[in-house]
Structure 1
Amino acid sequence: MVPGEAEPTEEASGAPGSSRRNPADDRRKTRVIFIVYLLAALDVSWMFLQFSVTPYLAKKMGFDTLWFGYLQTLVGMFQLLGGPLFGRFADLFGARVALSVSCSATVAFFLLLAASRVPAMLFLHKVPTLLMHVFPSCQMVVADLSEPEKRADALAKLGLCFGVGMIAGSTLGGHLTTRYGEAFTACVGAAGSAFSLLLVLMFVPENTKDGTAAPDAGTNQKSVFSLGEITRLMTFPGVARTFIVKTVAGFPSGIFQVMFSIIALEFFQLLPEQNGYLMAYFGVVQMVVQGGVIGRLTTRFSEEKLLLLSIGVSAVVGLAQALMLTVFHFCLIVVPLMFSLSTFNVITNSMLTNSVPPSDTGTMLGLCASVQSLTRTLGPTAGGFLYLNYGVSSIGLIQFVVNAVVFVYLLQRFVTNKEKRS
C-alpha cells in the first residue's frame, strides 16, 4: 500500500468528530502521492544528470578549484534564501502552483546551461536555483496527504525515489555527455523537466491541504516575504529545539558530504569510473535503507528513540571516518553512514512538520531545506580549511565530538521525560 492511504478503522468510518474519510478520497490521495514520488525521482534524475555536465563545462572554460567552489557556493546561497520563502509560497498558493514554478525554473536552468559558452553564462544559469524546490514541494504534498503517524514512513519513501534518481541520472548523464556532449545532455534535462511540469499540471491538485488548513481571510497571510510568519513557527512547542538539533548535529556530516568529491579524488585517488561505481553503491544503500528499513522502524519505535539512534550511529560513523585509510574501509562505513543520515533527516522532518499546523508544513519544510543549503554554503570553506590543515581525520573527529555531545544531551532529556511520565 502506498504511504498515505489509511487503513479503515471504526473511528474513521463513523465516530463523531472523525475526519469523515471515504475510500474514494483515499484512492485520490494514493494516486497523487504516487505521482509525487514519480516527480521526485525524475527531479533527482535531472539534477544528477546535471552533475555530469557542469564540472566538464567549467573545466573547459578554465575554472580552477577555487572558482568552481564559488559556483557551488552561489547555488547554496540561492537555495538558502529561497527555501523558506518558497515553502511559504507553497503554503499560500498550493501544491500545483509551487511545483509548476519549480519545474519551470528547472527548465530555464537547463536551457541556460545548454547555452553556456562563457564563464558568465555558467554563473547566470545558477540564478533559477532560487526557485528550484521540486523535492521540498514533493515533501510538502506527502506531508499534507499522509497521516501523522505514517508521515515518517511516507517521507522515507521519497528517499527511495532519491536513490533511484541518483543511479538513473548519474548513469544517463555520463553516457549522454560522453557520446553527445554537454549541450545535448543539458537539453535532455530541459525536456525531462518539461515532462515533469506536464505531470504536475495534469495530476497534482491545486491544493493538498485539508479545508481546515486554509489561511484565514483578512489577515496578513498573503505576504510571502513575511519574516515574522516564517520565524513564528519556532514558537511552537519543541520546534526550536528540534530545529537546533537538526542544524548542529547535521552540519559535520554535511561537511563530509560536500567535501567527498575532493576526498574521493585526492585521498582515495579514485578514477571517474570508480567514483561512478561508488555513487551507484550509495544509491543502492540509500534505497534499501529508506525503502525497506526506516518504515519498519517507525512502526516499532518512537521518533524520539529513532532520533537518538541516528545521532548515536552518526557519532560512531564520525570516529570510523577519522580512522579509515582505504576506500574499502569507507565502503564498510557507507551502510551505517547512509542509515544515520537517512533516519536523521526523515525523523527530524517528520517531527517538525507534526509540530506545526497543517497550513504551515510547506514553510517548515522550506526551513528544513535551508539547513542543507546552509551546509552547502559554509561547508566548502570549513571543510577545505580542515582538510588542508588537518586532513580527512579532522572532519570525522569533529562529527564524532559534536554528535556525541548532542546524543548525551538528548539522552538526558529522554530519561528525564520518561521519569516524569512514570
Structure 2
Amino acid sequence: MSGQPPGSMGALRRQGIIILTYVLAALELTCLFMQFSIIPYLSRTLDLDSVAFGYLQTTFGVLQLLGGPVFGRFADQCGARAALSLSFVAASALYLLLAASCSPALPGVFLLFASRLPAALMHTLPAAQMVITDLTAPAERPAALSRLGLCFGVGVIFGSLLGGTLSTMYGLQCPAIVALGVTLLGAVLSFTCIPVTTKEASVQSAHQGGTKASVFDLKAITRLLLLPKVLPVFLVKVISGFPSGLFMVMSSIIYMDFFQLEAAQAGYLMSFFGVLQMVIQGLVFGRLSTRFPEEALLRSSVLVFAVVGLGMALMSNVVHFCFLMPGLVFSLCTLNVVTDSMLTKAVSASDTGTMLGLSASVHPLTRTLGPTLGGLLYRSYGVSIFGHVQLMVNLLVLFVLWWKPLSQKRDKVR
C-alpha cells in the first residue's frame, strides 16, 4: 500500500498522509526547540565563551545552508519516504551526540560541536512542505502550507517549555534523550506510513525515464534558481525578510539587555510569539488566501514589515514590542508561505523538493550572517537600527513590486 503512486490514492488516504505529515513536522520542531533551549546552558556548563558559542551557532547555520538544496534534490529523486526518514535519522544522530556531550566522562566540547554535523541533513520541514505540495492542488496549496505554522507554533511553545522543565527537573541530558526517542519514533513512522513517492504517477515516470542527475549536481540547482519565474520571488523572500531575521537572531541578547527580561519572562515572550504564529497561520492566513491573490498578500506583508520597522525604531520597552509582534508575525508568516507557494508553482512538479530546499536555506543564511552583522549593528547603533533597516529595505522592495509586478514578469516569460 505504501508504495502506491499518488495518482492511485483515494482522497481519504491522501488526507491521512497530509495529517501524518503535520504530526511528524510538529514532533521534529518540538525536539528542535527543546535542544535550542538547553544549548546556551550546556555551553556555559562546558565553559564555552561567547565567541565559541557564536562559532557553534554559525556551524549549525552553515551546515543547514549547504545541506538544504542538496537535501531537496535527494527528496525529488528518492521520494518522500526516504527524505523524511533521512531527516529523522539525522536528527536522532544529533540528539545522541548532544546527550553524550552532557556526560562528564566524555569530551563534551568535541561532542557538542560534532552534534552540529547531522544538521546538514535535518530538513523535516522542507520535506513536509514537499509532501503537502505534491498532494494538494495549486489553489489549495497556500492554505495547506500555512497550516504548518500550527506545527511551528506547537514546536516553539511545547519545545521551549519541555526543554526548560525537563532540564530543571532531571538535568540537561534529559531533553536530549527524550528528543532522541521522539525522532527515532518519527523515523519509524516515516518509513512505515509515508509512500515511497508523493508525486503524481506521470511525473514519477517522466522523472525515471530521463537521465538521473547527481544529487550533488550544483549546476542543476543553480539553473533552477536562475529561472526567470523563480529568481525575482526568491530575491523578495531573502531581501524583505533579512532585516527581521537579524532582529530575531539577536533577540535573546535584546531581551536581556534592552528589555531587561529574566529567563522565564523571555520564555513567556517566545510562547506569545508561538501562539501568534499558530493563530495567524492556522486560522487567519487560510481565509485570506481564498479571498486575495498571492501577489497582493506578498505586497501586504512587505508593507506591514515596513510599518513594524518604523515601530521598532521608536520602541523603548517590551510593551511596545508586544504591540508590534502581531504585525511582525503576520509579515513573517505571509512572506514565507506565499513565496514558498509561488516558487513551487514556478517549477515543474519533479523539482518541487529542490525548490523548497533552496527556499529553506534562507533562514540558515540569516543564522550564518546574522550573529556577526547583527552584533556589530547592535553594538554600534542600538536596537533602533534594526527598525530603521527593516523600514528602508521593505519600502524599497515595495516600490520595486509596485513598479514591476511579479505577475507581469511571469507573463513576459510565457
Q: TM-score, normalised by structure 1?
A: 0.92
Give the Cα separation in 1 of the matches to 2:211 and 2:266.
50
Give the Cα separation in 2 of the matches to 1:338 and 1:277.
16
- The equivalent residue for 1:249 is 240
1:292 matched to 2:283: yes
Aligned residue among 210, 231, 251 for 1:240: 231
1:61 matched to 2:52: no
Contact 2:233 2:406 in 1 (8 A): no
Give the Cα separation in 1 of the matches to 2:209 and 2:192.
32
- The equivalent residue for 1:191 is 181
Deviations 1:313-342 (A, max 9, x none): 001111111111000000000000000000
SS in 2 for 1:53: helix
Q: Structure 1 stretch 249-258 or stretch 212-221: which is displaced more? A: 212-221
Contact 2:232 2:406 in 1 (8 A): no
Give the Cα separation in 1 of the matches to 2:255 and 2:63.
27
1:47 matched to 2:38: no
Deviations 1:351-400 (A, max 9, x none): 00011011100000000011111111001111001000011111110011
- The equivalent residue for 1:145 is 135
- The equivalent residue for 2:159 is 169
Q: TM-score, normalised by structure 2?
A: 0.93
- The equivalent residue for 1:35 is 20
- The equivalent residue for 2:258 is 267
Deviations 1:33-80 (A, max 9, x none): 000000011011001111222111100111122211110000010001
Letter in 1 for 2:282: G
Aligned residue among 342, 347, 354 for 2:345: 354
Q: Structure 2 regions of 5+ residues with no counterpart?
A: 1-5, 102-106
Give the Cα separation in 1 of the matches to 2:138 and 2:378.
41
What pairs with 1:17-416 in structure 2 (closer than 5 Å)?
Answer: 25-116=10-101, 117-214=107-204, 215-217=206-208, 219-414=210-405
Letter in 2 for 1:260: S
Give the C-alpha shift of residue 28 in structure 1. 1.2
State the Cα RMSD in Å: 1.8
Contact 2:7 2:200 in 1 (8 A): no
Deviations 1:201-233 (A, max 9, x none): 221111000112225446443410111211221
Give the Cα separation in 2 of the matches to 1:148 and 1:96.
22
Give the C-alpha shift of residue 151 in structure 1. 0.6
Contact 2:58 2:367 in 1 (8 A): yes
Q: 1:54 to 1:147 in 2, by over 3 A?
A: same
Give the C-alpha shift of residue 25 in structure 1. 1.7
Give the Cα separation in 1 of the matches to 2:110 and 2:50.
17
Q: Structure 1 stretch 114-123 or stretch 316-325: which is displaced more? A: 114-123
SS in 2 for 1:148: coil
Contact 1:57 1:182 in 2 (8 A): yes
Give the Cα separation in 2 of the matches to 1:126 and 1:235.
30
Contact 2:7 2:201 in 1 (8 A): no
Contact 2:34 2:179 in 1 (8 A): yes
- The equivalent residue for 2:3 is none
Contact 1:237 1:355 in 2 (8 A): no
Give the Cα separation in 1 of the matches to 2:320 and 2:93.
41
SS in 2 for 1:62: coil
Deviations 1:216-254 (A, max 9, x none): 446443410111211221343421111111111111111
Give the Cα separation in 1 of the matches to 2:315 and 2:407.
36
Give the Cα separation in 1 of the matches to 2:227 and 2:13.
31
Q: Structure 1 regions of 5+ residues with no counterpart?
A: 1-19
